[in-house]
Amino acid sequence: MHTILVVDDDAAVRRPIARLLGFEGFQVVEASDGQEALTRLQAGPGVAAILLDLRMPVMDGWAFRAIQRSDPRFADIPVIVISGADSDRFNELGAVAALEKPVTVSSVIRLLRDLLPNQ
């Protein structure tokens, strides 16, 4: 079972995605900002992929991604950006995919299944 880290400050977005991913057989860990996401990564369990919002308080997705990419323990974890802002700059993040909000959970699940075979 693959663990997915869902990082979004908007619980109305984060929780339904997390719930539906759980129904689809994924293990889900939630974080409401980049700092909490880093804490979750450091605490384990091993995360197979990250769904990342960009605009969040405390630590935004840009800062989180910079730290994640510079830490060899977490640099290779694939990131799917899901954001309603800065879509013209998505390519700067080095993400495996970028989706503009609003997204359908089915499109996220399809991406994850392609990215993480054997799920």
The pLDDT, as a whole number, for residue 64 is 96
Domains and CATH numbers, the chain: 3-115 (3.40.50.2300)
Over residues 69-96, the pLDDT tens digits come to 999 999 999 999 988 776 677 778 889 9
Range of lowest pLDDT (14-18, 33-37, 73-77, 97-101): 97-101
The pLDDT, as a whole number, for residue 53 is 93
Are the C-beta atoms of 78 and 50 separated by less than 8 Å?
Answer: yes
- Terminal CA-to-CA distance of the chain, rounded, Å? 7
- Banded model confidence at residue 118, pLDDT cuts 50, 70, 90: confident
Mean pLDDT on 28-55: 93
Between the alpha carbon of residue 50 and those of residues 85, 94, 107, the distances in Å are: 18, 13, 15
Alpha helix ranges (H) inside the chain:
11-23, 34-43, 61-70, 105-115
Question: Which residues, other chains included, contact 78 with Cβ-Cβ below 8 Å and sequence gap of 6+?
Answer: 48, 49, 50, 95, 96, 115
Structure tokens at 79: 């990131």
